[in-house]
Amino acid sequence: MDNNKKQDFIIDIENLVDQLEGNVSFLNEILINFLNNASILLDKLNNANDNNDQKTIMKTAHSITNVFSSVLIYSSSELSKKIEMEAKNNNLDKCKPLIAAINKELNSIFDYIKQNYL
């Protein structure tokens, strides 16, 4: 992936590296944990979406927000907040396109992290 190409998502790993004082091995550990946790949560979100499980969508979207924020992925964090709010208001029809969007975005983020940092 071309690092100069404008990304559809906002990710500031450089800032994360600065916060970790350049500890690349710890960065890799954080990113691997992120990939694992985000994958599990995304599967859970997709299953809840398939089953129209409002409560699980809401709780899982909240968990996803925290996971994204921990690695400074703000655009996905905002998207997961929207999913959580729509689920909280029982607007499951509005959740479906948001969940499709977060799936697309996460696949791009996963590829970006794997290609550039792991």
Give which of 46, 60, 63, 49 is closest to 91, Cα–Cα. 49
| pLDDT value of residue 23 | 85
What does the angle CA 3 – CA 97 – CA 47 come to, to the nearest 5 degrees? 95
Tokens linked to 2: 């071309």
| pLDDT value of residue 53 | 97
| pLDDT value of residue 11 | 61
**Could you tell me which residues are beta bridge partners of residue 73?**
11
Query: Is the backbone of residue 72 left (phi > 0), alpha (psi -120 to 50) or beta?
Result: left
Evaluate whether 59 touches 23 at the Cβ level (below 8 Å): no
- The residue written with tokens 């809401």 in the block is 58
CA distance 57 to 87: 6
Tokens linked to 115: 């290609």
Per-residue pLDDT of the chain (118 residues; tens, 9 = 90+): 444 444 555 566 777 777 888 788 888 899 999 999 999 999 999 999 999 999 999 999 999 999 988 888 877 788 999 999 999 999 999 999 999 999 998 888 889 888 888 8
**Could you tell me which residues are beta bridge partners of residue 9?**
none
